[in-house]
């Protein structure tokens, strides 16, 4: 599955704009993302990521692989996710295999949906407020292009900005650069 995603700085009133644009509020949750380095390649050089996400409201955990970004204006990339029943054991397995936890990102996330578009309003610890718009699509170039155009139009209509104004850094990259 390919995730077409754009991220912008959030602002006061964005949640009201989402609702008036037709987005439906789904849930609010706390997420803790633990990112791992690989013992066989440097993810910072290959533009990949491996994380374990713990969700406080459900107690669930997910293991996610993110492939390299597919274009310079968005955060479009392959994303593979599996649910994990035991977060601590998943982390222990990765560590036994030589993966090392390199950073943790904590955020309060409010999730909205309009059709196939997901909007997440994130308050990220130490970084501030952001809005992500995303659509999951199959791997065809046409589907990716249509999804990219769709999130671009929605971002403009919400007053977030043009695609060229979007933030292409991941929260992990932002946290690591802040900590340097």
Distances (CA, A) of 135 to 68, 102, 144: 17, 28, 9
User: DSSP secondary-structure letter at 57?
Assistant: T
Cα dihedral: 111, 149, 67, 81 (round 10)? 30
Question: Token digits for 86?
Answer: 């035991």
Contact 88, 99 (CB under 8 A): no
| Residues with catalytic roles | 35
User: DSSP secondary-structure letter at 146?
Assistant: H
């Amino acid at each position: 599955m390919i995730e077409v995603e754009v991220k912008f700085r959030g602002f006061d009133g964005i949640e009201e704009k989402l609702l008036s644009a037709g987005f439906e509020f789904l849930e609010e949750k706390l997420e803790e993302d633990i990112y791992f380095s690989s013992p066989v390649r440097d993810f910072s050089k290959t533009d990949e990521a491996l994380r374990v996400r713990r969700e406080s409201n459900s107690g669930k955990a997910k293991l996610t692989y993110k492939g390299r970004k597919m274009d310079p204006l968005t955060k479009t990339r392959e994303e593979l996710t599996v649910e994990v029943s035991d977060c601590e054991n998943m982390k222990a397995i990765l560590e036994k295999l030589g993966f090392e936890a390199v950073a943790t990102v904590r955020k309060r996330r409010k999730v909205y949906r309009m059709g196939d578009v997901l909007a997440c309003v994130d308050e990220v610890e130490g970084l501030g407020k952001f809005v992500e718009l995303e659509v999951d699509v199959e791997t065809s170039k046409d589907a990716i292009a249509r999804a990219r155009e769709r999130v671009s139009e929605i971002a403009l209509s919400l007053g977030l900005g043009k695609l060229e104004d979007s933030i292409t850094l991941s929260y992990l990259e932002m946290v690591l650069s802040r900590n340097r």
